[in-house]
Amino acid sequence: MKCLIIAAGKGSRLRQKYYSKPLVPVLGVPIIERVIRNAARAGISDFYVVTGYKGEEVRHYLDGLKRRCHFNITHIINDDWDAGNGISVIKAEDKLKGNFLLMMGDHLVDPELIRRLIDQRLPPGEVTLAIERDTNCPLVNLDDATKVWTNNGKLRDIGKDLESFNAFDTGVFLCSPAIFDGISESISRYGDSTLSGGVRCLAKKGRVNVWDTGGRFWIDIDDPVSLSKAEEALLQSIPIKKNDGPVSRVFNRPISTRLSKYLARLPLTPNLISIMSFVLSMLGAGLFLLGSYPALLAGGIMAQLASIVDGCDGEIARLKYQESAYGGWLDAVLDRYADAFLLFGLTWHVYLTRKDPSSILVGFMAVIGSFMVSYTADKYDSLMHSRIGKGYLRIGRDIRVLLIFLGATLNLPFLTLCLMGATMNAEVLRRMILCRGSG
């Protein structure tokens, strides 16, 4: 399946954000890159991108994307970019002889929506438009949206100024070469060089089908308001990791996603954020060594902040398409070191204040319990997911760090170590019993 992306327009309402609309960053990634990557995740391999206004800069960026990600990107130049977006489609006629996907360069679309659309059967000489049935969709700007009127699975009319409509045009089409004929007819008969005009000509002949997105995500980024909505939607769409604990889900994540919104705009890699989290933990451990309550309190706050930042590396990796197996492994290794230093620092703080050698033993048990909970996590999580899916009891790093934070805040470091030593080792014993005989 080939994909034609039209990205030739000026985008005057977003020029305050960037000089070229396709290159406007959405959480640190240009719109055009997000469009291509989402289509690639849906199985698209060949891309034809029509550029016009500031086209040289856009093509230069796409050449870099092609080298980085090995996408097959073919450039199509439209010098008449201000004459109507249907002209951009016509420019690709000699390159697209079979069925193809047509997308807008400023519409973000869920890969699953694309995947399901290209799986639809397309009769010869027809076009299928993905439509949004929810006419109250909060992501749609009613004043600017292209409205459609549908009946019995067919599109009957389309346009921005329709008074009667029952759906919105999402800007995603599964096309046969008939779309070129429709646009040519619209230009010759009505002087309308828009894509909607071409679709309207085909609709009059009953050759435009509609397919309901089923509420899957899409958004047209046309102005600063829709750009902000798109960023919020992307932040909320970050999947919760299956092994996230209750503290991560309820407390850390709402804060980390807010923080990730700003970190995404900076040239920071997920691995660098993992290191930043580790450094914060080390600072917290260092403060514990000072022995005073103010230092203990500051160290506890630093430890909890590190736990929140630790969630940002995965969020940034997903938002900026930078996931890697090495990144996940590095994060896990640094977490283990951070745990060891924090608990050692807390143990030393208790020893300085109590002058009791038993503090060392209590701290040692807390460290051992912490490490063994982490060591047994993979087998336990796999077993629980296979047995009951979601919602099982999980005591992980997020709870350990929260206990350190609470113990430091309440000036109860010894009790914290005792509680962690007992709780973590009891959790390991519980897992050993549950996993017995599981293979």
Domains of the chain: 2-230 (3.90.550.10), 240-435 (1.20.120.1760)
Q: Would you state the pLDDT for residue 384?
A: 67
**244 token code pair:** 């996230």
Q: How many CB atoms lie within 10 A of CB 184?
A: 16
pTM score, whole prediction: 0.86
* Biggest distance spanned by C-alpha atoms of the chain: 94
Instruction: Label residue 18 by pLDDT band (50, 70, 90).
Output: confident
For strands 100-104 and 107-109, give the pairing: unpaired
CA 224 centroid distance within chain = 19
DSSP, res 292: S
pLDDT tens-digit map of 219-258: 999 989 999 999 999 999 888 776 677 888 888 999 999 9
Where do the H-state alpha helices sit in 121-220? 178-190, 195-203
376-387 pLDDT per residue, tens: 877 777 766 666
Residue 44's pLDDT is 94
Residue 344 near residue 367 (C-beta atoms within 8 A): yes
Residue 117, CA distances (Å) to 182, 183, 200, 347, 432 in order: 21, 22, 20, 58, 47
Interatomic CA distance for residues 260 and 57, integer angstroms:
28
Angle at 350 between CA 349 and CA 354, to 5 degrees: 125
Q: Which stretches does DSSP call E strand in 38-114?
A: 46-51, 72-77, 100-104, 107-109
User: pLDDT of 188-198, one tens digit each?
Assistant: 999 999 999 99
